[in-house]
Amino acid sequence: MKANSSPELQNGSRTSLQNTSRIVLLLTATLLLLTIIPLYLFPLLATSLAWRSLSSSSSSSSSSSSSSSSDMTRDSIAGVGVAHHSCDIFRGEWVPNPNAPYYTNESCWAIHEHQNCMKFGRPDTGFMKWRWKPTHCELPVFNPAQFLELVRGKSLAFVGDSVGRNQMQSLICLLLRVTYVVDASLTQDEKFRRYHFPTHNFTVASFWSPFLVRAHEADHKGPTLTGLFDLYLDEPDSNWTTKMTEFDYVIVSAGHWFFRPAMFYEGGQLVGCHYCLAPNVTDLTMYYSYRRVFRVAFRVFNSLEGFGGTVFLRTYAPSHFENGEWDKGGNCVRRQPFRRDETRLDGINLEMYMTQVEEFREAEREAREKGVRFRLLDATDAMLLRPDGHPSRYGHRPHENVTMYNDCVHWCLPGPIDTWNDFLLHMLKNEGGRARSRNARKSTIE
């Protein structure tokens, strides 16, 4: 027997289907409107979502590039190209940037006199108008608002010599474009300064320790009239080690002070020296002390109870004396960066750099087992290409009696050193991506 549907049932089914289709279309349109309207009315929300997505997706590739830079071989660092094309922000060239500088020597009180090149009559301004362009990607110019959001409620310490303090001063100048700072120093000693940004509860501090270990000047003249120092290579300097648990990030650096004559002590015994010219004392060279102090400094963080922060090694920044040494008429008079094919990392500069990186690698391996994070802020290649960025004779008044008349060690502000904070911001964004990855893995395990 054949079953037949009545006309009423057929009409009812069609009506029901039409109503269902209308409801589906209405719901779809509503969802689209709810998605589009907020992004149209609040475009910053779209930017924020895009940045988070980009940050998350790029964190793994950026992480591999950071580690690959610390694993560079001696040949590749000296100029042989790297086979892969992942973005290594530390390998590239300087390109013109007409928008720079982003602050002026008049607008920033943090610039010390010997870096204030424009105040003392430097006639050219071109040295301020360059930016670092990595070979296979872009490095964004420092964004102070973004930086402050990333470090909200955190603290950053600079440990090392005056070149390290240079970076802190550059950072303060960049941040003052969007906020204000108060002096929160615990002492009047200019070697130990602390500044607080109340709008974001962010603190930055500098700890003067040019040798990173306990040291004192045994003779203010010495063989080269730059002093003779006693260095206790197995005793980290307590001026900074006792304060590190207070900080979330620490940038460690040291370099040019090791060229000065020094006596080396280990276990309380004299073991050798660097250019001390003392009878019956073995000259172990400055590379011996340089390796030892980084080894002991990194061990501080790997054994420091209560420290759970991130340690950055800011690598050696070469000087650029030409036509003589610093005390024999050497000067730095170039007015634009080197191109990559005009120079290479070799000699003393390469040895200093490799010494740091080798000790860094060893400390990094040990740190993985202890939960401490080590990161390489690899500024050497970029700064090697900037002979134009030093004060030269424009770091003091004309004819002033100063130890280093032509300063080819420190850096003018504004100037190339601002790029170190471009690097730092990029690395902090990577840290955020790594933290999200760690939290995601932890949630999956739980």
pLDDT by residue, tens only, the chain of 446 residues: 444 444 443 444 445 445 555 655 656 555 555 444 443 333 333 333 333 343 444 444 444 444 444 444 444 443 333 334 478 999 999 999 999 999 998 889 999 888 889 888 899 999 999 999 999 999 999 999 999 999 999 999 999 999 999 999 999 999 999 999 999 999 999 899 999 999 999 999 999 999 999 999 999 888 887 889 999 999 999 999 999 999 999 999 999 999 999 999 999 999 999 999 999 999 999 999 999 999 999 999 999 998 999 999 999 999 999 987 766 778 899 999 999 999 999 999 999 999 999 999 999 999 988 889 999 999 999 999 999 999 988 877 777 777 677 899 999 999 999 999 999 999 999 987 665 555 555 455 55
Report the pLDDT value the prediction gives residue 221, as an integer from 0 to 100: 85
Instruction: State the Cα–Cα distance between residues 231 and 260, nearest whole angstrom.
Output: 11
DSSP-derived pairing of the beta strands 202-208 and 155-160: parallel
* 410 counts as catalytic: yes
Residue type (1 letter), 410: H
Q: Select from 442, 365, 423 the least CA-distant residue to 132.
A: 423
Which pair of tokens denotes residue 389? 């960025």
What lies within 8 Å, CB to CB, of 15 at 6+ separation is: none
DSSP code per residue over 264-303: EEETTEEEEEES---TT--B--HHHHHHHHHHHHHHHHHH
Instruction: State the Cα–Cα distance between residues 218 and 228, nearest whole angstrom.
Output: 6
DSSP-derived pairing of the beta strands 228-236 and 262-266: parallel
Q: Which of 407, 418, 422, 426 is catalytic?
A: 407
Question: What's the alpha-carbon Rg for the chain, to the nearest Å?
Answer: 28
Buried b (16+ CB within 10 A) or exposed e, 356-382: bbebbeebbebbeeeebbbbbbbbbbb
Residue type (1 letter), 107: S
Question: Are the CB atoms for 382 and 135 separated by under 8 Å?
Answer: no
Q: Which of 256, 390, 410, 426 is catalytic?
A: 410
Alpha carbon 161 to chain centroid, angstroms: 15
* 66 counts as catalytic: no
Question: Are the CB atoms for 157 and 250 separated by under 8 Å?
Answer: yes
Question: Are the CB atoms for 214 and 225 separated by under 8 Å?
Answer: no
Q: What is the pTM of this model?
A: 0.80
Distances (CA, A) of 206 to 150, 260, 340: 20, 22, 33
| 314 DSSP assignment | E
Report the pLDDT value the prediction gives residue 440, as an integer from 0 to 100: 53
Distances (CA, A) of 352 to 23, 109, 165, 346: 71, 33, 20, 10
DSSP code per residue over 158-203: EEESHHHHHHHHHHHHHHTTT---EE--SSS-TTEEEEEETTTTEE
Report the pLDDT value the prediction gives residue 31, as an integer from 0 to 100: 53
What lies within 8 Å, CB to CB, of 329 at 6+ separation is: 323
